[in-house]
Each structure stands twice: as structure tokens, then as C-alpha cells.
Structure 1
């Protein structure tokens, strides 16, 4: 048992029962038409309510924010009602759940956004990036993204307002808070990183300008629902979906200071998690810890022992375990007892039905 993972922790007004986070993972099971969360998703999340904190899969704040087929939204009345089924099921099992609010920017295809051209910080195409569309079968069809158009300042303000409304919608849907997706190459990340932003107005050029959109979105989320119910996810060293920064350690230490000034509930760092990826330098983790004073979550390639060590060393307060939660609905209990972990089936990650979503057994039931 990795005891550091099982200490309770205070997150704003919430007392979390352990320090294990189920981080956001796209599963593409929303009901069509309408991108509505459903009973199958409610079962899936409720099965995993032993986590100290569940963060939902990315949920788009508007039709233009959608990157992939069959992902859920949080802008219509039907979508709010669908998510209410999920949060009710999680709360009935004693869980705590935040909604991850998502706008993908250029990481999409016109087929996913009603035929429109995607928008971004700049008219720069993400190279070698594919998204999946509904091609009329149960199997997603993968297609190259297209060149986006640069957002006008008035469009930026409109998206800030959409984030504000999405946070209110999340609370109406019963979520305990929200996580802003500012990582993994999506819209906010496209403004932050130097190589995906060549704007010449107040949203481009200097680091202060490239952080302005993040600053404005976080400010409106805090205004909507209160700072303690807001988390932000950043991915400082990943180059997912084609976003690259020339000086990421400096950029993201400054981003952490900015988020600290808003006194948000938590900062969630997505580390590079493919097998031969470089580790995040310890000095950088210490700089982030110095910059951000509230709850700090890390996710990426952690095992029980390495996660507990990060907490004991003071580098992290909570640890996210992504793919292990897919095949192990009782992951906290398995960690606590040292039970072996099941492996997920990669063929059933995206799209489909209950198979590969809700049919993974608990350890006792699997024996």
C-alpha cells in the first residue's frame, strides 16, 4: 500500500478521501445526435468513484469547440441533463467530479463542426495531426486536420463568454467544479506556445500577450463559479497536436504564477507519457511548486510507488492515473491491496458501446 496516496486532502470546500485522480480521457460514447452524455457513461464514471477526484473527459463548450466524433458537449439543455445523470451516479457512490471544459481550436475537421473552417490563435495548420470523424460506421474514420483561420479579437471575447456559460452549465449539471483544458495542443495551448501563435496584436508576440487568453478565460471562470471550484490543466513539455514552445520551462513557470494569482483550486500538469519520453526535470517541478501554492496534480506514467514518492517529496499533492483506470474500475482498492492491474483493450478506447467501457470487472469479481 502506498500510504501517501490514501491521505485525505482539502480542495477548496471539498474533502477528498484520497489523492488518486482519474484524469480526463476521451472515450467518444456520447449519444447522437446532440453529443449528449448518457446512462452508459454514468455507469462508467460511477464504477470509478473510489478515486479522490474524477475529472470528466473533455466536454466541448460550443459546436465549434468539438474536435472528434461522438464527444460530449455542455452547451445545450439536453447535454446538461445528460451530465446530470452522470454526476448523480457518481455522487451516489460518494465520488467527487469536475467537468473538463474543452475548445479544440484547430485540432478538428470541418466534418466535426458543421462544415465550418476551424479557428485558432493563428492561421497555422497543425502538421501530421489527425482527428476522427463519424464516417457512417461504428469505426471512427481518421482524417488530417485543415488550416484554421486566425480568430478576431471579438471572436476571442465570444469564446471567453462561452467558457463562462459552460462553467455555469457544469454546476447546473451537478459537477463539483471544472477543469479548464489548456493542454495537449488545444485552443488555449495554441495561444500560449510560441510556435503556434504568430499574432501581432495584444494576444501574440510577448509571453505576457500569449498568456492573455488563458488569463481572461480563468478570470471569467472564477467570476462564474468561484476560484476554489476551478482547476487548470497544462502540458508544458508535450508537443501533442503540433504545439511547440521555444522556451517551455520559462513559459509554463510564468503560466503557473499567473494561475496562482487567481487562487484557483488546483493546477494539473500532464507530463509526457509515451514509453521512451524524457522525464520532466526535477528543477522544473520545483519551480512549478514554488510558483503555484494550491493543490498540484501530476499525471503521466505514474505507478503507485512513484506517485506516492512525488507526494512525499512535496512535488505533488495528488496523482492522476489515466489508462490504468480504464481496465481497473477499482484502481484505488487494487493499489491499496497490491492486487495486480488488468490491461485495457486499445481497440475499444474510442466509440462503440459498453464493451471496453463498463464491462471491466473489479478484482474480486475477476478471480
Structure 2
């Protein structure tokens, strides 16, 4: 069992983005000898989390990194409650990042900026006017430190609930640009409710202008990276209405990896699953996010996509009762379904049961 006192002392010292403990330097991401302490020292959580650890899957081992056997022993000591049980592709470090961030103290104006659609300037004016209270006492200094998880904070008499990150599902309509902002064109962010237009929200990935369907919008940059990273193989499911009748040869072509033109050369796409829904409608499951990929795959097979709907990302599906342009908030625990991979037959049944009014007339 590790002695946790040296860990506490090293976490107290921040120097140029590093943590020093005795003769050992640790990178931003704590080495496995620190991780069990993060999980076990509930009595010292304030000290641990005040170090503002930035935990990343891509950190390089620092000096003091123990053997592979020791790393395995350490990982086994972290309680199961700190892992996503339904998402084995997520590392313990990713979960600990959320766990740590929830318990950091922060400036009052920064807290309010992350939970409301107001600008920092507007919030500063409101705080100085006495419109904000912390635990029942009026606070007029924007730099006042608060602990979001334990402090009760109100703005104009209404309590501000704390969420470390925000997750919004949108049914993106056709004709709208998928971008955080654009000076000339309407973007998906313009479709958000006024109270949902938080400062750091951004769409996860892109849906083409002429593609509709499920779009995830969040300020959780780490989760967005995990979803978009090819190494995590998050599956996206699309329903495509074709100009010409569906050919069964598409199934084997896509599964083998069809060749796509990339600039002046051709590259093979990753294997993709495809099933027929009706005479001119197909369901496709891909694990990449190439430019206009679904349309280009069918074009390479000799067909043309007239309409395209993204139905699911992993196990996170487009709510059947969500109209085009509509949004709905979800909780962080619901994002665990992103890492699932439903069988394409299940997605086919879901589409037929809930979205038959889109294109399907005679299902097979």
C-alpha cells in the first residue's frame, strides 16, 4: 500500500505546469502511483483537487514511473465507482478528470459564466450590483472563490445549479451549417434556446449542410476528442435514401473497405456495415468521419445519396419525438452509451419502428 503523505506534499507545488514531489517530477497527468491516492483519500479531497490536475490519455511517462506490474497493481486499487462500467474504452484517467473537476474551487464570475448565457462583463456588473448571493450572503466581488458542488449560489433570486459540463442533443435540420459560429451563415448554435447558448459549447464533429439528424453539442472537450478520435472506433449510424435501387453488392463492397479518392490518390475506407431497408433506402454503420464519407461511398459504388439522416452515435440515438431544429439536454451519465456498439439489426428495427414516416414505405 502506498504512503499518501508524499503525494499530498507534491500536489501542493505547481511549477511551470509540473508537480514536484521529493526527487520525482510528475507530468500533468499523474502517474499510476498517484492515481490510487486520488481515489482513496476522501478525507483529503480538497487538497488533492486544488492541484488542478489536467489528466490526459496521451501523456508521456515521467521519471519515477514504476514497472508495468506495479502499474497494474495500482489500477486494481481504484474503486469501481470511478470507472464507467458500461464504457470500457474510457480510461480511469478520463473519469478521474471529471471527478476532480467537480471539486475544484473557482472564481464566482467564472462559475456563473459556465452556467449561464451571460457574458463576463454582464456578470461582473450583476455581481457588483448585489444580484448574486453565496450561501445566503450577498457577494459583490467577481473574484470571490466558490466551491460549486457545495455552495448555494443564486442570481437574481434564482438558484444556479452546477453542472461541470453540459450536453445537448440536437435534431439538425438540412440547410444549417455545423459550426460554433459563422459571420455569414446560420449555424446550429443559432438554433439553441437562449438559456442554452453557453460560452464554451461547440458541436462534436460535423454534419454536412444537406445532412440531417443527431448532433451532440457540448463544452466537454475531452469527451468530444474521445468521440472523434479514430482509435476509439465510435460507430455512427446513417439512413440514406438513394437515387437508384439498392444493390446487394454494396454490403460486401463496404464491408471489405471501399476505395475513396483523397486528393490525388485513393485510400481504402475502414470496413463498414450496410443493410437494406427498402428498395431505395439503406442503413450504414461507419467508424470514420471523412469528408462527405457516406455520400462518397455510395458514389464510389455507382449510386447517389438524395437524403441522409444520422440516426445514432454509438448507443446514443436521435429521440423520435424531437422535431427538426429541436434540442434536449442530457446528463453526463447518459453519454456512457456513446461507447456502446449496437448490432446494426437493432438499429434497423429502431429506425423502422420510429422513423418510417421519413422515407420507408414497404420495409423488408
Settle same-fold status: TM greater than 0.5. Answer: no
Structure scoring higher RCO (CA < 8 A, sep ≥ 6) equals: 1
Please report the TM-score for the alignment, with normalisation by the length of structure 1: 0.22
TM-score (norm 2): 0.22
Flag the structure with higher helix content: 1
Larger of the two Rg values belongs to structure: 2
Larger proportion of strand: 2
